[in-house]
Amino acid sequence: MFRLTQIKLFIPLLIFIVLASMLYWGLGRDPNAMPSVLVDKPVPLFNLPSLDIPLESAVDEPEPLVNQSVFKGQVTLLNVWATWCPSCRIEHPFLLELAERGVPIIGLDYKDENAKARLWLEEYGNPYQLVIVDQQGKLGLDLGVFGAPETYLIDSEGLIRHKHVGVVDERVWQSDFLALYNSFGGATVSVKGGEVRP
Amino acid sequence: MINFTGRFKAIFLITMALSLGLTASATFALIETDQLSRPELSARYRQLIDEYRCPKCQNQNLAGSDSPISADLRREIRRMLEEGDSNEAISDYLVARYGDFILYRPRLQQGTYLLWWGPALLLITGLLVAGLFIKRQVTRAGESDLSGKQAPGDALSVKEQQKLDQLLNASPASEPSETTPPPGDKPSL
């Protein structure tokens, strides 16, 4: 048997092991991952213009106002984007693909200019059913947005079910969104290869 | 030479002071564009933006951050201050949107008890350990004084003292072989 003094000699080693394992665990964590406090809460109230695309009249008329009720009735993705955001450009083709598969996406054009936003959508294609214009960043603030792109999964009751900060791509969609999307009864999504997922 | 270093020192100090002054005024200007109607609101504002963390740039507070989201949050805080909201209301508003993450001064709640009381707990544990250690040393020293028993690593026993005296009193001319060093003693000593 070890004597107490011999056991005491191992205390620094134990402390080292505990510290090292904690630091190792910390290495694997994403420091930017911030769980949204709004998960399972309703979309904040808002009353904002929607982007008129393409511009029908020559004059930039006041655009129709929309509110939180646009999220009722179907499972929707809310994608926060802006033309000044380089990662949004990277994300854009995948959003187009999701829209093609039948996922309803509503855009939130965050602190942007309408003319630039229209040009962007005309040039790169429009994956959005509707684009909410948030020039002041008020809805963004209420949503706890801290940088574009951000994507929210909103159920048919208008409750936020998931938030993803950063680019959504096939991998993120498969791992973080698809199961939730299906569990809340999202519209049928066609999968690559023509199969249809119930 | 002394003159030169003196002058050099003076120039260095003046340059340092000037550059410090410049940076200080620059920071000041950044915050000072946000004037509030009453000085007490300004004071509260300064205190608040020091205590909230920028959600985007994780190691900066709102006061020190240039990011657009920080500017927005500072604007919201100013608005709420002007509207007469309490510090708690402002805190609640920010936490409802950005979570506890935004607080540099975490609230006392379940999950932060360890954070708040941990240091005190560690201090008490440290004091206890130190106290026990000292107490043991003192009793050990007392025991060896009274009984003359040898305490490991402590004061010398009577026998050891005699041996030491003998070694110290040995004449330097005498040969090393005459005084046999005690076992385990290093020859270099």
This complex has an ipTM of: 0.74
Nearest-angstrom CA–CA distance, A162 and B101: 18
Put simply, whether A35 touches B (Cβ < 8 Å) is yes
CA–CA dist B154, B151 (Å, integer) = 5
Average pLDDT over residues A146-162: 90
pLDDT at A190: 66
- Average pLDDT (A68-76) is 90
Percent of chain A clearing pLDDT 90 (strictly above): 41
Q: How far apart are the first and last CA of chain A?
A: 64
Indicate yes or no: CB of B99 within 8 angstroms of CB of A36.
Answer: yes
Find the residue in A nearest to B74 (Cα): A141
pLDDT band at A196 (very low <50, low <70, confident <90, very high): very low
Q: In what order do the strands lie in the sheet with A105-110?
A: A130-134, A105-110, A76-81, A150-154, A160-165
Can you tell me whether residue B184 is helix, strand or coil? coil
The answer to whether residue A39 sits within a structural domain is: no
Provide the β-strand partners of residue A79.
A107, A151
pLDDT greater than 50 at residue B29: no
Report the gap between the CA of A37 and the closest CA in chain B (Å). Answer: 6
The answer to whether the CB of B73 falls within 8 A of the CB of B61 is no
- pLDDT, one tens digit per residue, over B110-135 is 888 888 999 999 999 999 999 999 99
User: Which range scores top for mean pLDDT: A2-16, A50-64, B79-93?
Assistant: B79-93
What six digits make up the tokens of A60? 């930039």
Does residue A56 form part of some domain?
yes
Cβ–Cβ under 8 Å, residues B78 and B45: yes
Alpha-carbon span A71 to A69, nearest angstrom: 5
Q: Given an 8 Å threshold on Cβ–Cβ distance, is A37 in contact with B97?
A: yes
Q: How many residues in total does chain A contain?
A: 198
Q: Provide the CATH number for the domain around residue A166.
A: 3.40.30.10
> DSSP secondary-structure letter at B101?
G
Domain limits for position A72: 47-197
Banded pLDDT at B173 (limits 50, 70, 90) = low
Residue A19 in any domain: the answer is no
Beta-carbon contacts of residue A48 (< 8 Å; ≥ 6 apart): A65, A66, A67, A132, A133, A134, A138, A139
Percentage of residues in chain A with pLDDT exceeding 70? 86
Which range (A110-119, A131-140, B82-91, B136-145) has the least confidence?
B136-145
Q: Say which residues have a Cβ less than 8 Å from residue A151's Cβ, sequence separation at least 6.
A: A77, A78, A79, A80, A163, A164, A168, A177
Q: How many domains does chain A have?
A: 1
Residue A78 lies in a domain: yes
Q: Which of residues 37-66 of A touch B (CB under 8 A)?
A: 37-38
Given this model, what pLDDT does residue B60 score?
87
Average pLDDT, chain B: 77
Band (A195; pLDDT cuts 50, 70, 90): very low
In this predicted structure, the answer to whether residue B31 has a pLDDT above a threshold of 70 is: no
Q: Give the B-side interface with A, CB within 8 Å.
A: 55-56, 58, 68-69, 72-73, 76, 95-99, 101
